[in-house]
Structures are given as C-alpha cells and as structure tokens.
C-alpha cells in the first residue's frame, strides 16, 4: 500500500509552518523593534526634506529597506550619519 498525503495532512503542515513563521517574526520584531524607522521618522531625526532623504538613499549613504512600498531606515546609521 502506498503512503498517500491527504488534504488534512497538508492543512496540518501549513498550520505548523505558519505557526513557526509567526514565532520567528515575533521574536525578530522584539529584537529589532527600534532598529528600523519609517521615512517620516528618519526625516524628523535628520531635519531634512523628503528629497534630501532620497538623495542619501540613492547615493548609498543611508542603508534602507523597502517593504510594501514604504522605506525603512536603520536608526543607528541615521544617528551616526552626521557625527563623523
């Protein structure tokens, strides 16, 4: 007799994977809660315009991540940007 995978097996597998991903994301968000800030906060911290922030991003002077159309900037890099 062959081993067959049922829809119930797939459903349980999906639930397990989703549960593990949620745990990992929750752990990661706790560790990095203030490490990345949105563009608006970055502009406020630096007291610059959106265009100036874009220039820093494009020139590679400021590390960023784009998630679902929003830009996030590394808070430590923002703090160290003009202290050099």
Q: What is the pLDDT of residues 29-76, one digit of tens each?
A: 665 556 889 999 999 989 999 999 999 999 999 989 999 999 999 888
Per-residue DSSP letters for 28-77? HHHHTTTTEEEHHHHHHHHT--HHHHHHHHHTTSS-EEEETTEEEEEHHH
Q: What is the pLDDT of residues 18-36, one digit of tens each?
A: 999 998 888 776 655 568 8
- Map out the domains of the chain with their CATH numbers: 7-81 (1.10.1660)
Residue 78 has pLDDT above 60, yes or no: yes
Closest C-alpha among 51, 52, 72, 73 to residue 62: 73
């Amino acid at each position: 007799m062959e081993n067959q995978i049922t829809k119930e097996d797939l459903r349980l597998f999906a639930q397990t994977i989703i549960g593990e991903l949620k745990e990992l994301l929750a752990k990661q968000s706790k560790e990095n809660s203030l490490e990345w800030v949105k563009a608006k906060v970055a502009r406020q911290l630096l007291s610059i315009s959106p265009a100036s922030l874009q220039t820093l991003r494009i020139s590679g002077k400021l590390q960023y991540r784009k998630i679902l159309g929003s830009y996030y900037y590394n808070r430590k890099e923002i703090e160290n940007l003009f202290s050099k």
